[in-house]
């Protein structure tokens, strides 16, 4: 930085060098001035020493604020302005500080505007989904009123898919405010799973898929019922979607020594290609199987992963091509929800 500083001050250095040359020329060529050669050398050394000391002093004084800004830029975060040091000098430090303050205020105003527009869009979308759910509910009531009507029963599976898609869209619109919507309570894992199986029973009957639920039926976890249920629903939806007709889905609830509850969901689908596995939780990623299943949106597993992370649930996937896919939901005993519950006991 010192070299850059000298380059920046090149006009000053040029002026000082010119004045020194003029002084030396005046002493040497003016007949009225008689100075010993040793004195001239001494004068030049003293002059240059004072100039060098002056430049070093000014360098430290003028660049100290910019050095602190450089350090801040290497550790830049959302609260960068709060970490901004106060200006050391009136000029130019204060001008730089004022400029950064203006940029920060503009950025904050722009962010607030964007957030406001986003919330308006989310509210409009949520309102639209709610309006759409009203006729869907009416359709379900009519279909249930004619259980012996073949056409009404054939429409059941199509209605379920429409219901799942609108429900998924509703959860997407609420995702930004998930933190404020969480209500963690002690939940029986088997009850959570059974409720989601009932929701998807029509689709299972259409494909003649059986679901085998085994394991520790008394296992409990401390989580949010609605959001955790949505995660289970997304995982079951994927398992049903890719399972063959007359296939089986195996769900096992395991309780481990370190108080981990692990829910294992295994299907008999085509499995996931090795090169697709690292990306299955990416937003919009459908993979090779998703391209075959044209109804795939690439949002189900993305939402499941994102919500699971906020619920402190770990998702792990193992798959063998041609044999099926296994997904693990790991409820750890040391998550913040459980810690809060224990502190209240």
Decide if 120 is inside a domain.
no
Return the C-alpha torsion angle 167, 171, 174, 178, nearest 10: 140
Q: What CATH number does the domain containing 328 carry?
A: 3.30.565.10
Domain boundaries, position 287: 182-344
Token code pair at residue 191: 């009850």
CB atoms within 10 A of CB 272: 22
State the chain's maximal CA–CA distance in angstroms.
Answer: 127
Flag whether 142 is in a domain: no
Domain boundary among 62, 85, 108: 85
- Give the Cα separation of 209 and 243 in Å (integer): 8
In a domain, 9, yes or no: yes
CA atoms of 224 and 183, how far apart (whole Å): 5
The DSSP code for 277 is G
| Nearest C-alpha neighbor of 325 from the set 259, 272, 249, 288 | 272
What pTM does this model have?
A: 0.64
pLDDT tens string, the chain, 345 residues long: the values are 677 777 778 888 888 889 888 888 888 877 677 777 788 888 888 888 998 898 888 887 777 777 777 777 777 766 777 777 777 777 777 777 788 888 878 888 888 887 777 776 767 777 777 777 778 888 888 887 877 777 777 788 788 888 888 888 888 877 777 777 788 888 999 999 999 999 888 888 888 999 999 988 888 888 899 999 999 999 999 899 888 999 999 999 998 776 789 999 999 988 888 888 888 888 877 776 655 555 566 788 888 999 998 888 999 999 888 889 999 999 876 666 666 555 555
Last residue in a domain, options 24, 56, 85: 85
For tokens 């308006």, name the residue.
120
- Chosen domain end from 25, 50, 85: 85
Q: How far apart are the first and last CA of the chain?
A: 60
Chain centroid to Cα 239, Å, comes to 26
Residues ≥6 apart with Cβ < 8 Å to 246: 207, 208, 209
222 domain-assigned: yes
> Side by side, which strands form the sheet with 248-255?
210-215, 248-255, 261-266, 324-331, 313-320
Q: What are phi and psi of 274, to 5 degrees?
A: -60, -40
Query: Total domain count for the chain?
Result: 2
299 and 284 in contact (C-beta within 8 Å)?
Answer: yes
CB distance 244 to 277 below 8 Å = no
Residues 81 and 186 in one domain: no
Residue 292 belongs to some domain of the structure: yes
């Amino acid at each position: 930085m010192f070299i850059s500083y000298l380059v920046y001050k090149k006009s000053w250095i040029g002026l000082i060098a010119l004045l020194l040359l003029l002084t030396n020329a005046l002493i040497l060529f003016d007949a009225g001035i008689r100075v010993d050669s040793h004195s001239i050398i001494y004068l030049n050394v003293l002059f240059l020493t004072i100039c060098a000391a002056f430049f070093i002093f000014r360098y430290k004084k003028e660049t100290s604020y910019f050095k602190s800004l450089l350090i801040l830029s290497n550790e830049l975060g959302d609260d960068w302005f709060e970490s901004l040091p106060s200006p050391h000098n009136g000029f130019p430090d204060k001008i730089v500080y004022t400029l950064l303050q203006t940029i920060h205020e503009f950025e904050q105003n722009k962010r607030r505007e964007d957030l406001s527009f986003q919330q308006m869009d989310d509210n409009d979308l949520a309102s639209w989904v709610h309006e759409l759910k009203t006729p869907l509910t009416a359709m379900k009531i009519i279909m249930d009123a004619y259980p012996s009507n073949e056409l009404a029963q054939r429409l059941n599976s199509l209605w379920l898919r429409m219901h799942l898609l609108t429900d998924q869209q509703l959860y997407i619109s609420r995702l930004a405010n998930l933190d404020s919507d969480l209500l963690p309570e002690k939940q029986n894992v088997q009850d959570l799973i059974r409720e989601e199986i009932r929701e998807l029973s029509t689709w299972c009957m259409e494909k003649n898929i059986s679901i085998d639920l085994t394991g520790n039926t008394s296992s409990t976890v401390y989580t949010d019922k609605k959001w955790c249920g949505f995660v289970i629903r997304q995982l079951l939806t994927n398992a049903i979607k890719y399972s063959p007709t007359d296939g089986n889905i195996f769900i096992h609830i395991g309780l481990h020594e370190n108080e981990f509850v692990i829910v294992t969901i295994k299907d008999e689908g085509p499995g996931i290609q090795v090169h697709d596995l690292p990306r299955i939780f990416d937003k919009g990623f459908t993979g090779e199987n998703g391209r075959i299943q044209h109804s795939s949106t690439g949002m189900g597993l993305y939402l499941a992963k994102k919500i699971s992370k906020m619920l402190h649930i770990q998702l792990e996937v193992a798959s063998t091509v041609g044999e099926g896919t296994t997904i693990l939901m790991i409820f750890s005993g040391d998550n913040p929800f459980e810690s809060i519950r224990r502190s209240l006991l």
